[in-house]
């Protein structure tokens, strides 16, 4: 068993136990007439329970993909990602727009670099 799986299983177990404890607190508070405390504990129990269920499924899928990928496949996926980023090009200069660069629409609603837009104005 991988260390990540052990940590994920423990985290999931702790969330499940915390959700159960909050559910008990919610039920006890509602019985004693403390509606606000009971409602807050109930919402907390639902949220923790949902996180315990959802996080386990997603992390398992991610771990399977990470273990199944070889170094060659990882290199090819990096190349594919850069090809997708290059698909967006500046309408003014034709250069690729990289993720994180300042860009926006020009007067013709075409995507251009902010520097190209300022130079044209």
Task: Record the tokens describing residue 29, joined without a space.
Answer: 């508070």
- Cα–Cα distance, 11 to 20 (Å, whole number): 14
When pLDDT is cut at 50, 70 and 90, the band that residue 102 belongs to is confident
Q: Which residues pair with 111 in a beta bridge?
A: 105
Task: Record the tokens describing residue 35, joined without a space.
Answer: 């509606």
Average pLDDT, the chain: 76
CB 23 within 8 A of CB 40: no
- Cα–Cα distance, 65 to 3 (Å, whole number): 16
If one compares 19 and 114, the residue with the highest pLDDT of the two is 19
The CATH code of the domain at 72-121 is 2.10.110
66-83 pLDDT, tens digit per residue, is 444 444 444 444 444 455
- Cα–Cα distance, 42 to 28 (Å, whole number): 11
Task: Record the tokens describing residue 101, joined without a space.
Answer: 């660069």
Task: Compute the average pLDDT of residues 36-60.
Answer: 81
Domain boundaries, the chain: 1-68, 72-121
């Amino acid at each position: 068993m991988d260390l990540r799986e052990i940590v994920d299983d423990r985290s999931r177990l702790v969330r499940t136990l915390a959700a159960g404890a909050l559910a008990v607190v919610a039920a006890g508070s509602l019985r004693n007439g403390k509606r606000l405390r009971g409602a807050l504990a109930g919402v907390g129990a639902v949220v923790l329970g949902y996180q315990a269920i959802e996080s386990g499924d997603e992390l398992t899928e991610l771990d399977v993909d990470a273990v199944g990928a070889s170094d060659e496949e990882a290199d090819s996926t990096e190349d594919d990602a850069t090809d997708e980023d290059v698909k967006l090009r500046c309408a003014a200069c034709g250069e690729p727009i990289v993720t994180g660069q300042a860009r926006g629409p020009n007067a013709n609603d075409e995507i251009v670099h902010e520097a190209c837009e300022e130079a044209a104005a």
